[in-house]
Amino acid sequence: MRVTLELDSKFIHHNTLVLPYHYVEWVQAAIYNSMQQNVAQAVHDMGFPVDGRPLRLFAFSRIQGRFRVNKETIAFTYPVRLVIASPLKLLIQQFVNALVSAHEFHIGPETCRLASVSVDDIDIQTSHIRVRTLSPITVHSTMTKADGRPYTVYYHPKEHEFEEQVLQNLLRKYIAVTGSPFLLDKTSPPFRLRLKNEAKLNIVQYKKTIIKGYSGLFDIEGPPALLQIGWDAGFGDRNSQGFGLVEMAHTH
């Protein structure tokens, strides 16, 4: 399930939303702050652990709208849109109720007026979707240097590891959502992820971490239940940090 927020200026003579260039941390905090405190604390602190890794099971888009990039900031012209998705329908419903009651959405020191809210719940029944990223998809591995120090390798969509890591991530999310593993067998449609255009590299600073992700147009094939998980919870990892949310480009 996902919700699309249209945000406008709270003040008549204030028509821009000015954010730091690397603003995803602010949006993530705004989403948590719009939840009920006990819900936000449970999702943030504990999440849904699978194989010792907590999954937060929500994803969000980049802010969508006209913008101007300055040296250290990005200025959006109102109105702007933000999409938030989760396979946990109660989480989205509770989030929407809190927002509608407040009529406002606070991003850092900026207060936006909630102009409209729309909720949709697409049921994916096909084994092939073509999607466009609303926030970059990222997957990585942690390696060890000869001296024992760890380092991170981010994969490009054309590398086999990218597809394999996305699949393994979907399988972990499926366990978190349903409580049982997804059984891949010979009758299951094979999972494939194919880039359909030139991927754009996005380098994002989240807190003090540099994250590399890729935006573009993707054909994704596989069992509909796993595609549904990716649609609702995001593809790849770091979804609750603003990665991996997609929209339909077209299906066939």
Distance between start and end Cα atoms, the chain:
22
pLDDT of residue 239: 96
pLDDT digits (tens, 9 = 90+) for 46-93: 667 788 777 889 999 999 999 999 989 999 999 999 999 999 998 899
Strands (E), the chain: 2-9, 16-20, 48-50, 53-55, 59-60, 67-69, 73-77, 80-85, 104-107, 110-120, 128-133, 140-144, 150-154, 192-195, 200-206, 209-215, 217-221, 246-250
Which residue, 39, 170, 145, 171, is CA-closest to 92? Answer: 39
Amino acid identity of 88?
Answer: L
CATH number 3.40.50.1820 is the correct assignment for the domain at 2-120? no
pLDDT digits (tens, 9 = 90+) for 11-32: 878 899 999 999 999 999 999 9
pLDDT of residue 45: 66
pLDDT of residue 175: 94
Domains 2-120 and 128-250 share a fold: yes
pLDDT at 185 over 80: yes
pLDDT digits (tens, 9 = 90+) for 189-233: 999 999 999 999 999 999 889 999 999 999 999 999 999 999 999
What is the spatial order of strands in the sheet that 246-250 belongs to?
Answer: 192-195, 217-221, 128-133, 246-250
Dihedral (Cα; 159, 84, 178, 171), 10-degree rounding: 0
Stronger pLDDT, 41 or 162, i.e. the higher one:
162
Which helix (DSSP H) or strand (DSSP E) does residue 244 occupy?
Answer: none
pLDDT of residue 46: 66
Q: What's the CATH number for 128-250?
A: 3.30.70.1900
Domain boundaries, the chain: 2-120, 128-250
Per-residue pLDDT band for 186 (boundaries 50, 70, 90) equals confident
pLDDT digits (tens, 9 = 90+) for 125-181: 999 999 999 999 999 999 999 998 999 999 999 999 999 999 999 999 999 999 999
pLDDT digits (tens, 9 = 90+) for 87-132: 999 889 989 998 989 899 999 999 999 999 999 999 999 999 999 9
pLDDT of residue 77: 97
CB 191 within 8 A of CB 164: no
